[in-house]
Amino acid sequence: MADCLLGLGSNLGDRAGQLERACALLDSHAQIRKARCSSFHTTPPVGGPQGQTPYLNAALRITTSLTPQQLLAVTRNVEHQLGRVRQQRWGPRVIDIDVLLYNGCVVETDALVLPHPRMAVRRFVLAPACEVAADMIHPPTGWTVARLLQRLDESPHYVAIAGVDRQQTAELAATVARLSGAELLPDPRPVRGSAGEREGWSSAQELALIAARREQLTRLAQGTPGAAAGWHVCSYWLPQSLAVARAWLEEAARQQVEQACREAVQQSPLPHCVLLLDTLTPVRAADMPADTAVPPQRPERHAAVMRALAHQTARPNQGPVLRVAAGDLQLAVTELTAAMDAMC
């Protein structure tokens, strides 16, 4: 039997009645045993169209002999029985049932992603989940549900953006800061040397960048006034230097940069969320932005860094990561602003 966590929500009609009926229908399934249901939490709507009424949210911990795909089908059937019609993303709904965790499994298909890709940045999911599943492990982060919720209350409050295109990460950070009222933390750039530096990227340049980023994040941890919403948006992610080192540098230089980066990460606060602008498709040199961190003469390194960066964001104990296609900045803005609202 698999140990599973479900999230339930409703903001139309008899919200409490819908949640109770959903729990009863799930509990009546021959291959599901209900362990415990949380209390109902009233929460404001996050993302989606304006003017929605507040939600009631709950968490249900179950054991089941169903596979993840079978469990998803059962939850969809319950939603259908209760009258849900899927019309608009993040729109109002009679009932919503999400499979959040399934026995520590990681699944990624068109129909199902486990763990749920946004549960770790949603207080309205984590608060009820903590009542029934505080000990369950969220596989990508390696943290318990209780730790995920605790992290939302820790300072400093900031989100980080990872990506191989500086122009895109800077644009995204500036847009999210403007829309959310958060304070922008721009990427400190190393002093440029000779015109020939674009032929490669030296360990000295990366070490200087690590030091400047560490200093900025250390100041943030000590308290930086001025963010109207209490949040900061950082246009870089400190551990990205580990990906750069592995993709670009030779053995001795790589070890030096990796050591400096690990020390800097230990001395700096973790972001509450990392948004990865993801592209694993190599680009032509002519398409590379003029101010990219990747030398335009070496587009194959662009792909190498992206692969190393995707691997780095998948490592545990770094906090939640949201992954968005780098070509859709509007979607990235929507995802990150919604995540910030949901973490408050």
| Dist. CA 252–CA 203, nearest whole Å | 10
Provide the sign of the torsion angle of the four alpha carbons 80, 119, 123, 160, taken in this order.
negative
Q: Which residue in the block uniquely carries the two structure tokens 């770094």?
A: 318
Burial 257-269, CB ≥16 within 10 A → b, else e: bbebbeebbeebb
| Dist. CA 336–CA 324, nearest whole Å | 10
Task: Determine contact, residues 314/146, Cβ cutoff 8 Å.
Answer: no
Residues 6 or more apart whose CB falls under 8 angstroms from that of 336 comprise 159, 161, 172, 176, 233, 273, 275, 322
Q: At what angle do helices 15-27 and 68-81 cross, to 10 degrees?
A: 140
**Of the listed 3, 21, 76, 98, which one is catalytic?**
98
Is 14 among the residues known to form the active site?
Answer: no
Is 96 among the residues known to form the active site?
Answer: yes
| Dist. CA 151–CA 339, nearest whole Å | 14
Is 187 among the residues known to form the active site?
Answer: no
Q: What tokens were used for 278?
A: 């993801």
- DSSP element (H, E) containing 309: helix 299-313
Q: What tokens were used for 305?
A: 């860094």
| Dist. CA 288–CA 299, nearest whole Å | 8
**Of the listed 15, 61, 93, 246, which one is catalytic?**
93
Q: What tokens were used for 199?
A: 């032929």
Is 93 among the residues known to form the active site?
Answer: yes
| Dist. CA 66–CA 53, nearest whole Å | 34
**Of the listed 96, 165, 278, 341, which one is catalytic?**
96
Q: Which residue in the block uniquely carries the two structure tokens 């030096």?
A: 256
| Dist. CA 142–CA 162, nearest whole Å | 20
**Of the listed 15, 61, 84, 151, which one is catalytic?**
84
Task: Determine contact, residues 275/169, Cβ cutoff 8 Å.
Answer: no
Beta bridge partners of 234: 160, 185
Q: Which residues are catalytic?
A: 84, 93, 96, 98
